[in-house]
Amino acid sequence: MKKYLLICVTYHSDEALRQFVESVHRAAERVKGKMQVDIEIADNGADNRGYLGGALPIYNAKAKGYDFVSISNVDLQLAPDFFEQLLTTDSTNIGWLAPDIYTAKINRHENPCMLTRPQKRNFCIWNIIYSSTLIYRLYHALYVLKSQKSKVYPACDIYAGHGSFMLFTRAFVAHYPELHYPTFMYGEEIWFAELVRAAELKTSYAPTLHIDNIGNINTGTMHQSLKSRWSKESLRAIYKQFFR
């Protein structure tokens, strides 16, 4: 029997958590006897440790021995056949499976998040974007506009998946049984992509694995200056670790 560990991070989002867990249970019922699905909740309500700050202590303590481990937000809904499709998905030499995450409110398929590895100039551009609230708002507006023409991709190897739901394989966990993220929040897609790359594994887009994204509940109320500062700190740390 395959074993799946799902680590979800919540921050004052009890109703979204309830709905998310219900969708997981519905999907898990359809693979009973074929896959064991365990849910662990990282509740940041009392002490906000950040996305990976909440998830990775659970990963470090419990990921070993699982065939699949995911880290996710809770403002999501798994398709009823999610685990059924996963059982038929080839994960040979793959460290990260990126599902089809669809955000209906902007008509966007979030994966593939990044098709190719960023260059040093990308980090310079991102630093400028996150240094100005005005530039960031313009950038975000263009992102939403572009989302209206979101392209649908077939299954393919990619650089990085979307951070809202990251699904890792046994091979990834074998390489990285313990992980510690260098900053508070953001930039996790590039960080994990670089870990997969260093392990000589692949990140693969798996469009048969469907998830609905219902919106940025955990970070939607945060002030833009905080998001920008955390993003800059994370990108600086990632650049120093992997791109210098």
Q: How does pLDDT run across 65-114, given as a tens digit for each residue? A: 999 999 999 999 999 999 999 999 999 999 999 999 999 988 889 999 99
Instruction: Say how far apart CA 97 and CA 110 lie, in whole Å.
Output: 13
pLDDT band of 228, cuts 50, 70, 90: confident
CB 169 within 8 A of CB 68: yes
- pLDDT, position 221: 46
CB 130 within 8 A of CB 228: yes
Amino acid at 181: Y
Strands 94-103 and 165-169, how do they pair? antiparallel
Q: Mean pLDDT lowest for which of 151-165, 174-188, 198-212, 219-233?
A: 219-233
Query: Taking each helix axis from N to C terminus, what angle separates 224-238 and 120-129, rounded to the nearest 10 degrees?
Result: 160
Q: How many residues does the chain have?
A: 244
CB 165 within 8 A of CB 70: yes
CB 30 within 8 A of CB 81: yes
In DSSP notation, 22-85 reads: HHHHHHHHTTTTTEEEEEEEEE-SSS---HHHHHHHHHHHH-TT-SEEEEE-SSEEE-TTHHHH
Q: What is this structure's pTM?
A: 0.92
**Residue 78 has which token pair?**
């798994």
Give the phi and the psi of residue 119 in degrees, each rounded to 5.
-100, 170
Q: What is the CATH number of domain 2-117+152-216?
A: 3.90.550.10
